[in-house]
């Protein structure tokens, strides 16, 4: 059985924030992941008994009523405790990428436990790919693999490798520098340059490897990122 739309929609929101380079996004993600875990338990309980009033049921009791297995319960309680620390005791408390990634993966494991193997069968491919990257940056991920992945994006990624070039591509010329701005050009598959010009107003060159654009990469070039993860055996 697939998970309810409310669950998959919130998961997409969490992954979107995870790959968006903004201050304190790790903190926001852990809080939202805990919210998603709580909502997941409530919805599963109400599927079986819609008349139950769960407004005053605390988190540990929700886990018990949803019959969550012990190995998951322990991790979920830990992240819930951190979330409470954020909201009620230490408003300036921060957290790094590892526990943030762990919280996402633990909540996804909960969703799959509650709705079984087909729980997330209909989520977009970029979310599935994003979860693989979250695993790379979790406590089980290896730093050397993280560096390999980031170096691949920096040095080897070609966003146009699978395109048939019915459209043109923009590039920054290496030798047409005016002041601090490089000239732009439009180049076809054969390398023919149509024109050289200055950037238009508000036109930027996208640095695909930069973390601030990872959401763009995942949503628009999912298969290329999947190929990288497969190549690195991630």
| pLDDT more than 90, % of the chain | 56
188 is a domain residue = no
126 is a domain residue = yes
What is the maximum span of the chain, computed from C-alpha positions, in angstroms?
A: 71
84 is a domain residue = yes
The predicted-structure confidence for 145-201, as pLDDT tens digits, reads as follows: 999 999 888 877 766 554 444 444 444 444 443 333 455 556 565 666 666 666 666
Q: Which of 189, 156, 184, 152 is nearest to 170 (CA)?
A: 184
> How many domains is the chain built from?
1
Most confident of 16-20, 123-127, 190-194, 224-228: 123-127
42 is a domain residue = yes
The predicted-structure confidence for 180-193, as pLDDT tens digits, reads as follows: 345 555 656 566 66
Residue matched to tokens 């409530």: 42
159 is a domain residue = no
pLDDT at 123 over 50: yes
Compute the average pLDDT of residues 104-118: 96
The predicted-structure confidence for 37-69, as pLDDT tens digits, reads as follows: 999 999 999 999 999 999 899 999 999 999 999
Host domain of residue 108: 5-153
CA distance 137 to 101: 6
Q: Provide the token pair at 57.
A: 């049921």
104 is a domain residue = yes
32 is a domain residue = yes
Compute the average pLDDT of residues 125-148: 95
pTM metric for this prediction:
0.82
Position 40 scores a pLDDT of: 97
109 is a domain residue = yes
Position 217 scores a pLDDT of: 85
Neighbour count for residue 184 (Cβ, 10 Å): 18
Q: Is 165 left (phi over 0), alpha (psi -120 to 50) or beta?
A: left
């Amino acid at each position: 059985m697939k998970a309810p739309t409310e669950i998959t929609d919130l998961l997409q929101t969490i992954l979107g924030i995870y790959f968006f380079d903004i201050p304190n996004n790790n903190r926001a993600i852990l809080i939202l992941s805990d919210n998603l875990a709580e909502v997941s338990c409530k919805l599963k309980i109400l599927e079986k008994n819609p008349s139950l009033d769960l407004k005053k049921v605390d988190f540990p009791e929700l886990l018990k009523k949803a019959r969550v297995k012990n190995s998951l319960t322990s991790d979920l309680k830990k992240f819930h405790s951190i979330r409470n620390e954020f909201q009620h005791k230490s408003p300036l408390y921060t957290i790094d990428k590892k526990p943030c990634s762990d919280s996402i993966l633990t909540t996804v494991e909960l969703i799959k436990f509650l709705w079984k193997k087909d729980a997330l069968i209909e989520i977009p491919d970029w979310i599935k790919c994003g979860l693989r990257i979250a695993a790379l940056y979790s406590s089980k991920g290896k730093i050397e693999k993280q560096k390999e992945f980031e170096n691949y994006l920096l040095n080897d990624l070609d966003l146009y490798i699978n395109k048939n070039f019915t459209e043109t591509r923009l590039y920054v010329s290496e030798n047409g520098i005016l002041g601090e701005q490089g000239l732009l050009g439009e180049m076809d598959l054969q390398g023919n340059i149509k024109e050289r010009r200055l950037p238009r107003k508000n036109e930027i060159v996208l640095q695909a490897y930069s973390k601030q654009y990872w959401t763009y990469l995942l949503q628009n070039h999912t298969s290329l990122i999947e190929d990288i993860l497969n190549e690195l055996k991630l």
